């Protein structure tokens, strides 16, 4: 992996986040503003980057096999991360009251808003495709295991199934269906998805910048020590464990697949944490602060980990 591309992409992301914070200073931030951004990102930009990647990649048996492996490993990595967070929270009296929140913040990353655009920029369409599949695994864990943990109930209901249905997942299903039956959409549709896919990264980074300013103006004080467990678990421990999984996995993984798995494991805590916690009457302030802290630190840890892994020929 070319380190110059990594630092270039991270620098661009950092600048776009700064633009988002600047926009937040001159433009009133409301819940409607945030809802508009998330709607555009999740329901327009993300599906288009998925479809655009599928249209650019020749789907064959090998690609489908790799996608299946990425999906299964995504579920495994996320569950391991949750387990790590649960362990650290349970081991500390100070963190025990936030055990559910810390567990989810330690395992579930921002693999959609940041992960997919970053993998697309560095690894190309195939990388973006695998990154989208990894993100689908994250969604599955969020709306099944994640919701069960927050509710202290481990029953699988029809409502849980309905929550798994979203437009990015539909885009993956239809995109793969088109690829399997060898259907090529009209050129105007392909051009449209390419144009809208280009919106994914700037919109997502602007949103994170807006979120940083919004939360910094609306949060209350919390113990900084509570942030250590989920941030360290998510940004450092989980990527190292993912590396060990890849190196000992019995089925050989190709270069792009391995890099996507590692990069997605490096992502900061999921942006939707505070929304998820609010919905289930958990500490949304803690979720927001962890998201902000991990996102800022990830701008340093992602290139440093990639540099370290590349030095030992792991990436």
What tokens appear for 295 in the block?
A: 């996102």
Confidence of residue 159 (pLDDT cuts 50, 70, 90): low
Q: Is the pLDDT assigned to residue 283 strictly greater than 90?
A: no
CB of 193 closer than 8 Å to CB of 171: no
What tokens appear for 107 in the block?
A: 């395992």
Percent of the chain whose predicted confidence (pLDDT) is above 90: 29
Average pLDDT of the chain, as a whole number: 84
Domain residue ranges of the chain, discontinuous segments joined by +: 3-311
Beta strands in the chain (DSSP E): none
User: What's the count of helices (H) and strands (E) in the chain, helices before strands?
Assistant: 16, 0
Rounded to whole angstroms, the Cα distance separating 292 from 107 reads 16
Model pLDDT, residue 296: 87
- Burial of 167: CB neighbours in 10 Å, binned 0-12, 13-18, 19+: middle
* Main-chain phi, psi angles of 97, to 5 degrees: -65, -20
Q: Helix or strand or coil: residue 269?
A: strand
Highest mean pLDDT among 7-16, 102-111, 167-176: 102-111
Confidence of residue 273 (pLDDT cuts 50, 70, 90): confident
Residue tagged 């144009």 (tokens): 195
Q: Is the pLDDT assigned to residue 180 strictly greater than 80?
A: no
Tell me the per-residue pLDDT of 205-225, one tens digit each, with 9 for 90 and over.
888 787 777 665 555 445 566
Model pLDDT, residue 86: 94
Residue tagged 């270069």 (tokens): 255
Is 3-311 in CATH node 2.60.40.770?
A: no
Residue scoring higher pLDDT (46 or 224): 46
Model pLDDT, residue 51: 87
**What's the Cα-to-Cα distance from 227 to each of 17, 51, 94, 98, 179, rounded to whole Å?**
21, 36, 11, 10, 43
Model pLDDT, residue 35: 78
């Amino acid at each position: 992996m070319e380190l110059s591309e990594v630092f270039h992409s991270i620098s661009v992301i950092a600048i776009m986040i700064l633009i988002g914070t600047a926009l937040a200073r001159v433009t009133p931030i409301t819940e409607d503003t945030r809802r508009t951004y998330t709607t555009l990102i999740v329901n327009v930009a993300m599906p288009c980057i998925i479809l655009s990647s599928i249209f650019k990649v020749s789907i064959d048996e090998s690609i489908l096999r790799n996608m299946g492996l990425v999906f299964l490993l995504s579920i495994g990595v996320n569950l391991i991360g949750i387990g790590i967070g649960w362990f650290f929270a349970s081991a500390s009296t100070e963190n025990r009251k936030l055990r559910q929140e810390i567990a989810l913040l330690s395992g579930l990353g921002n693999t959609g808003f940041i992960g997919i655009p970053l993998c697309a920029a560095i690894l190309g369409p195939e990388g973006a495709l695998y990154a989208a599949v990894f993100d689908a695994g994250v969604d599955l864990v969020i709306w099944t295991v994640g919701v069960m943990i927050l509710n202290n109930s481990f029953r699988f209901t029809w409502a849980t199934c309905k929550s798994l249905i979203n437009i990015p997942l539909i885009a993956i299903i239809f995109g793969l269906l088109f690829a399997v039956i060898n259907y090529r959409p009209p050129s105007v549709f392909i051009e449209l998805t390419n144009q809208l896919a280009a919106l994914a990264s700037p919109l997502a980074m602007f949103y994170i910048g807006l979120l940083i300013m919004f939360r910094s103006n609306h949060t209350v004080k919390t113990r900084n020590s509570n942030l250590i467990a989920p941030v360290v678990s998510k940004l450092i421990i989980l990527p190292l464990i993912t590396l060990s999984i890849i190196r000992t996995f019995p089925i050989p993984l190709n270069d792009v697949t391995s890099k996507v798995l590692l990069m997605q494991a490096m992502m900061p805590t999921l942006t939707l944490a505070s929304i998820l916690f609010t919905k289930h009457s958990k500490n949304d302030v803690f979720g927001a602060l962890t998201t902000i802290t991990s996102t800022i630190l990830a701008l340093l840890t992602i290139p440093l980990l990639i540099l370290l892994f590349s030095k030992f020929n792991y990436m």
